[in-house]
A and B are shown apart, each in its own frame.
Chain A
């Protein structure tokens, strides 16, 4: 008896599920965004996703993966739109673009700084928090040499610690060369933090305590949007020698790209995506807002668009921009 009941129950559940499914998806257009895992790409996905949903009637989802996997997905058409292609990190991007395997729609941002940062209070002090300026003359990367005792490494007496990049990132090698190039190895340890999370925690923790720290970081990130950090200056950028660590690091061109199939079938939304342009600064601000309030990506995207309404005018036809503004201020 019990068995029969459970079988009946199971079948009715299956039947209900089918009813539920058939109601939803039919006839809808869907965008598959690339989700490379970091905050800013998820944020841009949400911004573009909301607009695609409200103006063009798309539904959207995110496909997670690593940078290279997502790039392959874009070439094969399994990913429709990639909101943040870090072109320098993809060895094959230039060739693939030249061969027409994908379409580059716009430059999302190209003002993203990276390099060795220290909290502003280390240089200027912070009277409110009662922090004295410990390294008032720190301006250039090589000035660190004068302040090993300000950034002590607690595993090696008398040495300073400079937090490098994540092991395996190309910039990690460049930074290490820079560290040697400026002779910081005399009294500094080049400390590899091991992971993105560990590096962020080290900086957060030092900042909370008002302690000095010298660490590699990059924009756009919530961390640099939220904390007042100063990028240590370096020799002006030179394409020939920056990989040897002799000049400052370049800004990476971060583009919005789409697969050929999607570009062919969806000319309308392509226009919007081709106009899509933000900046590293704006992205960092939004991510910092998200970190502070604990909102999700969608809420943050809405907040961001409300704060920066002029972007809508740039991206969309004036009519659609009005619709979007009305929706956001609802």
Chain B
């Protein structure tokens, strides 16, 4: 008995995958000069962040982290712990690589915030925009990275610029979502009251809604930062140097120790940045509650 019809799909739409390839590649060749401008701008941006980080003497950075940890948690032991773990990264000889990684992460986070924050506000004010943007955000978060990594390579070459772009695509989502969410969850009465007292829409947004939503927005900043750090190893696969490359080399060579040390450095950076931004989240919560 032939039962193939039960299991084989009845038809197949012929998609001309070659045409998509050609279109993307043709596009990259045709607008080469345009992409070059973006590429060199991103390069300049990442490099200047790196130069700033590189300019800061190591003990100053450790001191800053120590103070931030101390002040935010109000415990000196926490500050010492953060400072000591940062010291550890330098002690195992990964300080420069850490700076390289941080410059990519910081560049991506800054771009994410610059684009994501206004966009989040925009979709919080319009249900229609929200309906359009939401599935796009879902796509950005779930699309396997290599699918857009390779076109990014065609457009921007290998190295830091495509790394920043890929990281931004991935990390911009939480700040948009949580800005939107934070503003939407404010009680209608609060907004109505502000309007009733004669503030314009813009005044209500800037002086009432955003401060009210600040804890949620800060949580979004924190999440964006964490996701950007999560991309560090992935972006090393397109030639971004830094700690991610160390991890990649370690893993590819089955040098477990090397992978473990540089992986731990990534974790330390992530934890320190997470705690510090969360400290800011808590502060902003206290502040907005105190109103």
Contact = CB atoms under 8 A, between A and B. Distances in A.
Interface in B80-135: none
B17 interface: yes
Contacts of A20: 1, 3-4, 6-7
Nearest to A196: B237
B200 interface: no
A92 interface: no
Interface stretch (B149-157, B174-182, B224-232): B149-157
Contacts of A168: 248-249, 251-253
A94 interface: no
Interface residues of B, number: 36
Interface stretch (A187-195, A243-251, A304-312): A187-195
Which residue among B238, B240, B251 has the maximum number of chain A CB atoms within 10 Å of its CB? B238
Nearest 4 A/B pairs, CB to CB: A168-B252, A194-B237, A20-B3, A195-B237
Interface stretch (B24-32, B62-70, B186-194): B24-32
A166 interface: yes
Interface string A170-208: 000000000000000000000111110110011011001
B238 A208 contact: no
Contacts of B25: 204-205, 208
Contacts of B157: 154, 202, 205
A166 B237 CA distance: 9
Nearest to A166: B252
Given A23-B1, A191-B159, A205-B154, A198 B43 contact: no
A155 B3 CA distance: 60
B155 to A, nearest CB: 8
B245 A192 contact: yes
B29 A193 contact: no
A4 B1 CA distance: 26
Interface residues of A, number: 27
A209 interface: yes
A197 B144 CA distance: 14
Contacts of B209: none
B263 interface: no
Contacts of B236: 194
A116 B252 CA distance: 21
Interface in A187-238: 191-195, 197-198, 201-202, 204-205, 208-209
Contacts of A8: none
A198 B3 contact: no
B32 A209 contact: yes
Contacts of A17: 3
A305 to B, nearest CB: 23
A107 to B, nearest CB: 28
Given A167-B245, A169-B252, A191-B239, A197 B150 contact: yes
Q: Determine the main DSSP class of B at the interface with A.
A: helix
Contacts of B149: 198
Which residue among B1, B237, B240 has the maximum number of chain A CB atoms within 10 Å of its CB? B237
B153 A202 contact: yes
Contact of B153 (A23, A154, A166, A205): A205
A23 B6 CA distance: 15
A16 interface: yes
B153 A198 contact: yes
Contacts of B32: 209
A267 interface: no
Nearest to B46: A155
9 contacts: A17-B3, A155-B43, A167-B249, A169-B252, A194-B237, A194-B240, A195-B237, A208-B28, A294-B18
B29 A155 contact: no
Given A19-B1, A294-B17, A198 B253 contact: no
Contacts of B159: 154-155, 191
Contacts of B47: 155
B252 A193 contact: no
B1 A198 contact: no
A193 B239 contact: yes
Contacts of A294: 17-18
Given A191-B158, A201-B150, 18 more contacts: A16-B3, A17-B3, A23-B1, A154-B40, A168-B252, A193-B238, A194-B236, A194-B239, A195-B237, A198-B149, A198-B153, A198-B237, A202-B153, A205-B157, A208-B28, A208-B29, A209-B29, A294-B18
A106 to B, nearest CB: 30
Nearest to B28: A205
Interface in B145-177: 146, 149-150, 153-154, 157-160
Contacts of B158: 163, 191, 193-194, 198, 201-202
Interface string A4-29: 00000000010011011001000000
B7 A167 contact: no
A154 B39 contact: yes
Which residue among B47, B158, B237, B238 has the maximum number of chain A CB atoms within 10 Å of its CB? B158
Nearest to A292: B18
B29 A154 contact: no
A194 B238 contact: yes
Which residue among A166, A198, A294 has the maximum number of chain B CB atoms within 10 Å of its CB? A198
A33 B247 CA distance: 32
Interface in B1-54: 1, 3-4, 6-7, 17-18, 25, 28-29, 32, 39-40, 43, 47
A222 B40 CA distance: 31
A197 B150 CA distance: 8
B43 A154 contact: yes
A198 B40 contact: no
Contacts of B6: 13, 16, 20
